[in-house]
Chain A
Amino acid sequence: MKNKRIYLCDNSIDGIFTAIYLAWSSRYGHSNIKIEEKYEGSKFANIELFAEYIVVDTDYNLSKKVADSIKKKISEEAYEMVCRVALSYYEGKADLIYRFLILAFAVGPTITERLSNEIVNRMFRLDRNVGREAHHLLGFIRFSQHADGLLISVIRPKNDVLTLVTPHFADRLSQEKFIIYDENRKLASIHIPGRQWILAQLPKLEQEKLDEIWGIDDEYSNLWKIFFKSIAIKERTNPKLQRNNLPLRYRSYMTEFKI
């Protein structure tokens, strides 16, 4: 029996695709291979004793080859699904994507319909989880206004959804300068009118600085709180339903829940 071979890759779609390309072309046998995405801090937590580790350097050319063949041989839909799953917070997604692709290249475009298959079903559920969070955030993101009309929003999403939500705001607020800051990943998307929006890695911000950015109140944020309060039907107060629809974790950066 061969030793298990583990490809350790960056936690990004390109990192995962690069690893898949290398794993596949190694002809080492799918069942002897595992792909793991790297997480900050937890790198060697589950190290397997008798496995051979290969650290993968992300290579955009290889990644693109994988992307192209998914689109060509499977489907655009499957490609999008894989991309969203790659943004999931689920640990082990790299190997799941690998297993999914093994299956998908064999089955072809109809793979996304095979919901009764265990692997496809798990992909489907993660995809939905990422999609849902992104959709929630389209509504739950709050901007506060700063000097010069700059709009700043701070979020702490479970999944890495910044790239999914920013296009919506770039379209909607095309004339505005805005920043959406993902505090969990120290990642920000920045939009300036007339230009393509960009992603930037930011250094960790001090809590104080964050509060300062976030804590700005103006006439309209106060009016919003007034509206939020008076639109509720007091006799039907229902915190359980409210919590069900709007989980507590979103509220820490929503204007109307700030005291």
Chain B
Amino acid sequence: MVILETMSLQRKLEILSDAAKYDVACTSSGVDRKGNSLGMGNSVACGICHTFSADGRCISLLKVLYTNECIFDCKYCANRASNDIVRASFTPEELSELTMEFYRRNYIEGLFLSSGILISPNHTMELIIETVRRLRQLHHFNGYIHCKAIPGADPALIELLGWYTDRMSINLELPTAESLKQLAPHKNRKNILKPIRQVQIGKKLFTDYKGVTPYSDRPVMQAVNVLTDTAGLPDLTGMTDSVGMAISNGISDGRPEPIAASVNDNSYKDNDIKDIIRTGSSLAPYHNRPATKRSFVPAGQSTQMIVGATDESDYQIMAVAEALYRNFDLKRVFYSAFMNVNQDPRLPSTEDGPPLLREHRLYQADWLIRFYGFTINELLDERRQNFNLLLDPKCDWALSHLDRFPVEINRADYHTLLRVPGIGTISAQRIITARKSAALDFEDLKRLGVVLKRAVYFITCKGRMMYPVKLDEDFISRQLLAVKERLPFGIEKDLTYKQLSIFDDANFKLANHDLVGGFLITGS
């Protein structure tokens, strides 16, 4: 291992931002907070992009690792202990000042801090906390902070971090406990889910509470007991067995029970919640909540899963995501196409590029679940475990539910409109508003932002379809495939024959050679 004792700040920044570049959760949205007369900074709920890097991604936050040292050896990670790379660490002073000076010049919205594990999870967490404590208390920084919590750190430290940050994330890393064991031998599912649960409970508990009472007068932790006893979170019944197992295995490391039960599970409560309740860590130098009037993790928590390093299906991944939204109140789940950065022969090769199109389909499905009222069981099931790579999940769903179409634009309710391909949340709202003053026709829909090329097969205006079309699955799929889908830049390139072969596994039902050929021409 190479350790440079006197490394310049430039060099550190170079190493530690390079090491953070694959992290996807760089959004600063979620809180609206005015500036104050004391310090610097505010926060805007819709989020602000400050620049776009050469790969075209938005830069909103100073995204760095605190350190790329690591005692763990996760197979997918460039910082794993077994790699021989240059290591660097910031100091809390350096990093807090850097953040302030960047913020003043309007380079960033705030800080997104992740880290390798230096010496121990607790030690690392203390350094991270000291950094954000300096920002909040010394510099009176009022902008956005997103921190990764280190799995395995003391619950008291997790809570303390929560009082300083806007968003916290604890990465699930892999969809099942089995995969986690394989690829991240030093992590375990419980150590990941426990802090996620702790933050969820904390958020509920502290809704109106600002961190002004000392840590020792906590009314808090008895309440945790109450909550864990009564937390009637929906379980995963209705989930097919294999997926249900996958998720529950994740939680209890082998014992098949649904996520929700884990909180009420006695052994879990006795051992683990007690950990959470335990008073301030002896390792923690801070026994007080920050004396500033801040609320607890106001922007909620997010997590990230790596896609394509292990062989879970889209169905399994999305079922886990859905459970996280429903049962753990997560704000966002991020999906990260696997890149074999270590060229580790034990992991899938990504020589032809990471599975970006698959990642994109997962994000689309995630969107449908969060904003369009879909459930994962409507989109995929036991027999069809993966998304159709050629069509977006909504078109794909509509095609297999043609009996529900066409819908009448001037009558259908909001939720029905949302399910029409080519109509999004904004255009659906506009339709509802605009049709109050006059019955709408196809011409009007264009102006309201409806993508008619997709929508025409599924709607009527004043009882008429735009063209006489037969509601026939083959016909419509052919038409829809001919409409070039607007994929995020950079993804088109990834549509190669190699990926098309995945369709066989994915039960690709439009196995029409002409179509596939035609698509390849437009898509590549």
Residues of A in contact with B (beta carbons under 8 Å apart): 110, 113-116, 121, 135, 138-145, 151, 153, 168-169, 171-176, 220-224, 226-242, 244-246, 254-256
CB-nearest residue of chain A relative to B105? A143
Contact flags B422-465 to A (C-beta < 8 A → 1, else 0): 00000000100110111010011001100000000000000000
Contact flags B47-62 to A (C-beta < 8 A → 1, else 0): 0111111111111101
- Tell me if B398 is interfacial: C-beta within 8 Å of chain A: no
CB pair A139–B13 under 8 Å, yes or no, is: no
Docked CA distance A140–B18 (Å)? 22
B window 19-34: CB within 8 A of A: 20-22, 34
CB-nearest residue of chain A relative to B356? A236
- Tell me if B44 is interfacial: C-beta within 8 Å of chain A: yes
Contact of A141 among B44, B52, B106 (CB under 8 A): B106
Q: How far is the CB of B360 from chain A (nearest CB, A)?
A: 14
CB pair A226–B14 under 8 Å, yes or no, is: yes
CB pair B434–A114 under 8 Å, yes or no, is: yes
- Tell me if B63 is interfacial: C-beta within 8 Å of chain A: yes
Q: How far is the CB of B259 from chain A (nearest CB, A)?
A: 34
Docked CA distance A240–B109 (Å)? 25
Name the B residues within 8 Å of A221 (CB-CB): 105
Centre residue among B56, B64, B353, B436 by max chain A CB count within 10 A: B56
Q: A113-B434, A116-B447, A226-B14 are contacts. A256–B489 as well, Cβ < 8 Å?
A: no
Name the B residues within 8 Å of A121 (CB-CB): 447
- Tell me if B107 is interfacial: C-beta within 8 Å of chain A: yes
Name the B residues within 8 Å of A242 (CB-CB): 52-56
Q: A113-B437, A245-B58 are contacts. A143–B489 as well, Cβ < 8 Å?
A: no
CB pair B55–A227 under 8 Å, yes or no, is: no
CB pair A115–B434 under 8 Å, yes or no, is: yes
Name the B residues within 8 Å of A256 (CB-CB): 51, 107
Name the B residues within 8 Å of A135 (CB-CB): 46, 48
Name the B residues within 8 Å of A116 (CB-CB): 434, 438, 440, 443-444, 447-448
CB pair B105–A255 under 8 Å, yes or no, is: yes
9 pairs of A and B residues whose beta carbons are closest in the complex: A241-B56, A241-B489, A232-B53, A171-B35, A232-B54, A236-B55, A116-B444, A246-B52, A238-B56
CB pair B48–A138 under 8 Å, yes or no, is: yes
Q: A110-B437, A174-B40 are contacts. A142–B107 as well, Cβ < 8 Å?
A: yes
Centre residue among A142, A175, A230 by max chain B CB count within 10 A: A230
CB pair A226–B54 under 8 Å, yes or no, is: no
CB pair B489–A175 under 8 Å, yes or no, is: no
Name the B residues within 8 Å of A254 (CB-CB): 51
Name the A residues within 8 Å of B485 (CB-CB): none
CB pair A230–B434 under 8 Å, yes or no, is: no
CB pair B13–A237 under 8 Å, yes or no, is: no
Docked CA distance A246–B44 (Å)? 20
CB pair A143–B104 under 8 Å, yes or no, is: yes
Q: Can you report 29 A-B residue pairs in the complex whose CB atoms are below 8 A from each other?
A: A115-B430, A116-B444, A139-B48, A139-B49, A141-B106, A143-B106, A145-B104, A151-B105, A171-B34, A172-B40, A172-B143, A174-B40, A176-B104, A220-B98, A223-B98, A226-B17, A229-B54, A230-B18, A230-B21, A231-B59, A232-B55, A236-B55, A237-B55, A241-B52, A242-B52, A242-B55, A245-B52, A245-B58, A246-B52
CB-nearest residue of chain A relative to B101? A220
CB pair B51–A139 under 8 Å, yes or no, is: yes
CB pair A174–B54 under 8 Å, yes or no, is: no
CB-nearest residue of chain A relative to B444? A116
Docked CA distance A222–B52 (Å)? 17
- Tell me if B9 is interfacial: C-beta within 8 Å of chain A: yes
Name the A residues within 8 Å of B353 (CB-CB): 235
